[in-house]
C-alpha cells in the first residue's frame, strides 16, 4: 500500500519544483518502475493536466515503511494563448503509481500550472541512503 505527499517546494524565477514522495505503508517491500501518472483536480472536477516524462526509468524496491520519490516541475509563465489565471487552481493531485489503476490523493497548494497544465517529472528514484551521524 502506498501513500503520496508533496514536499520540498521551491521556485527559481518562473520555474516551480516539488518532490512527490511515495511511502510504502505495508509490512512488505514493493517494487515499482517508471513514472507516476498525474491528474490535477479541484472541487469542479479535473483540471487540464499534461504529463511530460523525462529521464530513464529504473526499477526501485521500496522497503516496508520506506519511500521513493520523483521531482515534479512546471512553470508559472503563461503560454501565448493563456490569460491570467492560466488555469483553474487545483486543490488536489491524483497520483497513479506505475502499473496501478487506482489513484492516490494528496493536497495541491502549489497554485495553477501554466502552459496548459504541463508538469514534467523525473523517474521514480530510491530514497537516498541515510547519513551516518
pLDDT for the residue numbered 127: 78
Check: pTM over 0.75? Answer yes or no. Answer: yes
CA distance 128 to 29: 16
What string of pLDDT tens digits covers the 133 residues of the chain? 999 999 999 999 999 999 999 999 999 999 999 999 999 999 999 999 999 999 999 999 999 999 999 999 999 999 999 999 999 999 999 999 999 999 999 999 999 999 999 999 999 999 764 433 3
Span 2-126: which CATH code? 2.60.40
Amino acid at each position: 500500500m502506498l501513500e503520496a505527499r508533496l514536499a520540498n517546494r521551491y521556485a527559481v524565477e518562473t520555474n516551480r519544483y516539488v518532490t512527490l514522495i511515495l511511502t510504502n505503508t505495508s509490512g512488505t517491500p514493493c517494487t515499482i518502475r517508471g513514472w507516476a501518472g498525474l491528474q490535477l483536480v479541484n472541487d469542479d472536477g479535473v483540471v487540464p493536466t499534461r504529463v511530460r516524462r523525462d529521464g530513464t526509468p529504473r526499477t526501485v524496491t521500496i522497503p516496508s515503511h520506506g519511500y521513493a520519490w520523483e521531482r515534479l516541475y512546471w512553470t508559472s509563465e503563461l503560454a501565448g494563448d493563456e490569460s491570467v489565471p492560466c488555469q483553474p487552481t487545483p486543490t488536489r493531485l491524483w497520483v497513479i503509481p506505475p502499473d496501478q489503476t487506482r489513484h492516490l490523493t494528496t493536497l495541491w497548494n502549489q497554485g495553477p500550472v501554466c502552459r496548459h497544465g504541463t508538469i514534467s517529472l523525473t523517474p521514480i528514484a530510491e530514497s537516498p541512503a541515510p547519513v551516518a551521524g
